[in-house]
Amino acid sequence: MSAIATADLKTISTAINDPKAAKSLQTACKTQLKNPSLKRPSDSSLTPTSKRLKSAYELSSEPQTPQALEASLALPQPSPDEEAISKTTIYTNRAPLVLAFSVQLLKHTMPEQPLSSRLSLGQAVVSVNSRSKAVSLGLESGKSAEEGGWGAGQPKVRVMGREIHVLKRGGYDWKEGEKEQETNEGAGGEVPEKTETSKGREIVKTEGTNEWSVSAPVTSKKSTFVARSIAITSPSQARSELQKLLANNPELREASHNISAWRVQGDHSVIEESNDDGESGGGRHILGVMQSSDVVGMLLVVTRWYGGIFLGTDRWRIMSQVSRDALSQRLRVTGVIGHEALWGLDLEAMRSTDAPVTGGTAGGMPIYKPESARAYILKAFASPPASEEGTAKKKKSGVVLEREKEENLRLLLGALELLFGSWVEHISRDELDRRAWSWYVQVRPEVESGVAGWGGKGEVKLVDILNLRRKG
């Protein structure tokens, strides 16, 4: 830099073949040498304080543990100040109010769920409700992903009266020093004995004869799919069982594809493998189904007899359906919700994607991400716009507006906590969930009817929420 600043301008021009650029470069070097304070320390861009956070709740980095994830998703603590709540009016549209109702309701109806799950499930409720409204207004048409069978085989829970397809987050220990309790209640039939690894995965132990579980066949456009699952304990057993299956069943050898995947617990981690058998991406897809339910100690085989007509992405849905059918017979997991943490499944994203499942619990199937729901809810509750009459007030800065919204959220969550808390000891959780939707309807913002009101905003008086509390 010093050499350029003191060099002859003609020499610099000749070197870079641009007189204008040469002059600008030399001027910049001279200015920098005269004003060293303009130079930023080399490590300043790497420090977390180099960027000022607008909000105390802004995420700064990707968490690495369940505890770090939950801490990073923290929302403002619900306010217990009834006087402040009763004086507050917020300005919002209906969708984020549904989200706030759902997140706070789940603390009482499903208290075993961590905040990440409550945000994901709440966003699923918003999505289901929004699509239902869009269809009723004529903004969308056709079958939903659920009606098209994309949620087949997945467990469901009810939130705010809506049925939500969920994905179980096996082994997600978000409370330090506390082990999640598991239950097979309601599964019916005989349940294989299970052990848990340090990571909480389910490993199947079989006694006596080890037989294949077979799914119901599914046929679409002349293509037929059937899945089979069997318990295994080692990679060699997985390969041996697959060879015996094909050797003993001529009809399977004549099929177009026998797609396989298996997972077993090794000394230090899970060992897994998949094979497409000519169905490109098929092995990774069914391995993803196993990963999404955290199934270990199992071999899964999906057989397809091709009917001559391309199915497109619909083949992934059918593979998932028969796979879960076969696995659920072995593990008794489908439809049974114990105390596991859950994700809300995004069925519309599952339908629209043009690729198979390829990842684990969060990446293997489309879920409603808690980070997105959190960002949405933090910015959704403004104060009513100021009246245009009289002298115009000074415009608030972005930071002030963000913190005002966070305070409004704190007061809203406080009002909802007081509402649900007044009823939870007097009615069942199912009844509390059922009533929550009617309470939301009574306080939601008034907007124009029809398409004109889609996404419209209005005022919500928090005192109206307090007035819904149980009397006495």
Note whether 32 and 116 are same-domain residues.
no
According to DSSP, the residues that pair with 274 across neighbouring strands are: 261
Instruction: With respect to residue 172, please indicate whether it lies within any of the assigned structural domains.
Output: no
Note whether 243 and 291 are same-domain residues.
yes
> Strand 295-296 vs strand 202-205: parallel, antiparallel, or unpaired?
parallel
pLDDT of 206 reads 38
Note whether 201 and 323 are same-domain residues.
yes
Give the chain's domain count: 3
Closest CA to 125 of 163, 152, 156, 154: 163
Note whether 90 and 196 are same-domain residues.
no
Note whether 227 and 287 are same-domain residues.
yes
pLDDT of 34 reads 57
pLDDT of 472 reads 72
Instruction: With respect to residue 97, please indicate whether it lies within any of the assigned structural domains.
Output: yes
Instruction: With respect to residue 363, please indicate whether it lies within any of the assigned structural domains.
Output: no
Instruction: With respect to residue 445, please indicate whether it lies within any of the assigned structural domains.
Output: yes
CA distances from 27 to 15, 23, 33, 143, 320 (A): 16, 6, 10, 66, 65
**CATH at 273:** 3.30.230.30
pTM of the complete model: 0.60
pLDDT of 353 reads 63
Distance CA 298, CA 277 (A): 19
Note whether 311 and 208 are same-domain residues.
yes
Collect the ranges in the chain with pLDDT lower than 50: 36-63, 177-209, 332-336, 354-363
Q: Are 252 and 258 in contact (CB under 8 A)?
A: yes
pLDDT of 91 reads 96
Q: What is the largest CA-CA distance in the chain?
A: 91
Note whether 312 and 401 are same-domain residues.
no
Distance CA 459, CA 176 (A): 41
Instruction: With respect to residue 146, please indicate whether it lies within any of the assigned structural domains.
Output: no
Instruction: With respect to residue 176, please indicate whether it lies within any of the assigned structural domains.
Output: no
Domain range for 266 is 192-331
Instruction: With respect to residue 433, please indicate whether it lies within any of the assigned structural domains.
Output: yes
pLDDT of 421 reads 93
Note whether 199 and 318 are same-domain residues.
yes
Residues sharing a CB contact under 8 Å with residue 37, sequence separation 6 or more, in sequence order? none
Note whether 86 and 22 are same-domain residues.
no
H or E element, residue 468: none
Distance CA 379, CA 409 (A): 9
